[in-house]
């Protein structure tokens, strides 16, 4: 048996992997940056791939079970991930493979009926939640609400939602999506939310971590693709929020804005209401704050930036956001937005 690295520039080699995965009802993920295969008698009998620190597209032919191929594939991929300077890895796989990956050292983060997320390495979801509790001196017995936001950028709509939650709960935790795949960098997004909520003493603004709307838990959020996998990624992301964050941080409510514009977020809200109830978490859907009979949204701000319409922007963002948008860095981001046609 030979282990080979797939040439990702070769359509033929990728097609071979794609065909092998189809036998297991799996799709080859075009975002992968490294793929390996094991052949026997020139036929592929096992494969696995990765995108950054996320292992995916894993399959071993049934005839080769018990031959130690999982160990060979995982060891190779983890070594590659370590070489690239990452020491915490995830694997996306079918629930039927959970015990296989537990057998090589992975721990389960969460699962749905069709997909499971496991992890290995220097960090873990338990360590992450413990450090959130310690660093913010959280009392898990204090009644809490959670908000998860991208804030790309922070608008009066976001501020209104946080203020409403602040009035209605003892403590509010606002998690800002940490992954830098949006027009506005994470450091700027979280800074603006902290500035725009500094008057609310019971609100704590936190980084979203690798476990909330990230490439590991919900890649489709950034792709804005509506396909079969979207539902499973949403279920997984919401299950992590309910089973891990809400359960371990003492959260009983989640606030979301009504979604009149984005189909992915609309679907997310719908599934969230179904799943979080199982964990005793009430979902509060708040109608969007309006300006001149139009729902305020971050996408509107980005559209106005393309038009250089700062007067319109001023009416839908807090002063801290407006000051940032008119700064040198804000203008640079506006130029990037003008040159791209991204949903983010």
| Residue range 84-95, pLDDT digits in tens | 999 999 998 889
Residue 108: half-sphere exposure toward Cβ, Cα within 13 Å: 18
pLDDT digits (tens, 9 = 90+) for 21-35: 999 988 898 889 999
pLDDT given for residue 261 in this prediction: 66
Mean pLDDT of 49-71: 92
277 secondary structure, DSSP code: G
In whole angstroms, what is the distance from residue 100 CA to residue 233 CA?
A: 21
pLDDT at 295: 80
Please return the burial class of 161, using the count of CB atoms within 10 Å of its CB with bins 0-12, 13-18 and 19+: buried
Cβ contacts of 309 within 8 Å, gap of 6 or more: none
Question: Which band of pLDDT confidence, cut at 50, 70 and 90, is reported for residue 206?
Answer: very high
Q: Which residues of 255-293 are buried (b: 16+ CB within 10 A; e: fewer)?
A: bbbebeeeebbebbbebbbebbeebebebeeeebbeeee
Identify the burial level of 49 via C-beta atoms within 10 angstroms of its C-beta, where 0-12 means exposed, 13-18 middle and 19 or more buried: buried
> Which tens digit of pLDDT belongs to each residue from 255-314?
998 876 677 777 888 889 999 999 999 999 998 887 776 789 899 999 999 999 999 999
What is the C-alpha separation between 145 and 166, in angstroms, rounded? 8
Highest mean pLDDT among 25-34, 176-185, 249-258: 249-258
Residue 241 has pLDDT above 70, yes or no: yes
Helix 263-276 vs helix 228-240: crossing angle, to nearest 10:
50
- Per-residue pLDDT, 217: 66
Q: What percent of the chain has pLDDT over 70?
A: 94
How much is the mean pLDDT over the chain?
Answer: 91
Q: Can you list the domains of the chain with their CATH numbers?
A: 2-87 (3.40.630.30), 126-339 (3.40.50.620)
More confident: 332 or 263: 332
Mean pLDDT computed over 317-337? 96
The stretch 145-156 carries a mean pLDDT of 96
Say which residue the tokens 């080979």 belong to: 4
Per-residue pLDDT at 16 exceeds 80? yes
78 has pLDDT over 80: yes
What is the pLDDT at residue 74?
96
């Amino acid at each position: 048996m030979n282990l080979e690295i797939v040439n990702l520039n070769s359509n033929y080699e990728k097609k071979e992997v794609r065909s092998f995965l189809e036998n297991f009802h799996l799709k080859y993920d075009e975002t992968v940056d490294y793929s390996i295969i094991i052949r026997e008698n020139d036929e592929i009998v096992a494969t696995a791939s990765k995108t950054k620190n996320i292992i995916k597209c894993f399959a071993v032919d049934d005839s080769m079970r018990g031959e130690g191929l999982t160990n060979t594939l995982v060891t190779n991929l983890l070594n590659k991930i370590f070489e690239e300077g990452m020491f915490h890895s995830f694997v996306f796989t079918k629930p039927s493979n959970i015990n296989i990956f537990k057998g090589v050292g992975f721990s389960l983060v969460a699962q749905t009926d069709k997909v499971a997320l496991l992890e290995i390495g220097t960090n873990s979801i338990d360590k992450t939640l413990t450090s959130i509790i310690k660093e913010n001196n959280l009392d898990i017995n204090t009644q809490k609400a959670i908000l998860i936001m991208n804030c790309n950028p922070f608008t009066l709509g976001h501020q209104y939602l946080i203020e409403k939650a602040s009035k209605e709960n003892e403590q509010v935790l606002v998690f800002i999506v940490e992954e830098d795949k949006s027009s506005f960098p994470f450091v700027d997004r979280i800074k603006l939310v902290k500035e725009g909520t500094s008057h609310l003493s019971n609100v704590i603004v936190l980084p979203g971590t690798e476990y909330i709307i990230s490439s590991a838990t919900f890649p489709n959020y950034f792709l804005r693709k509506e396909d079969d996998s979207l539902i499973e990624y949403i279920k997984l992301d919401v299950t992590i929020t309910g089973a891990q964050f809400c359960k371990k941080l003492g959260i009983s409510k989640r606030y979301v804005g009504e979604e009149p514009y984005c189909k992915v977020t609309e679907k997310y809200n719908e599934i969230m209401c179904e799943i979080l109830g199982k964990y005793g978490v009430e979902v509060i859907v708040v109608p969007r704050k309006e300006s001149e009979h139009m729902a305020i949204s971050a996408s509107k701000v980005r559209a106005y930036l393309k038009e250089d319409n700062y007067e319109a922007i001023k009416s839908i963002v807090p002063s801290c956001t407006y000051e940032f948008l008119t700064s040198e860095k804000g203008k640079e981001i506006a130029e990037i937005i003008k040159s791209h046609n991204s949903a983010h």
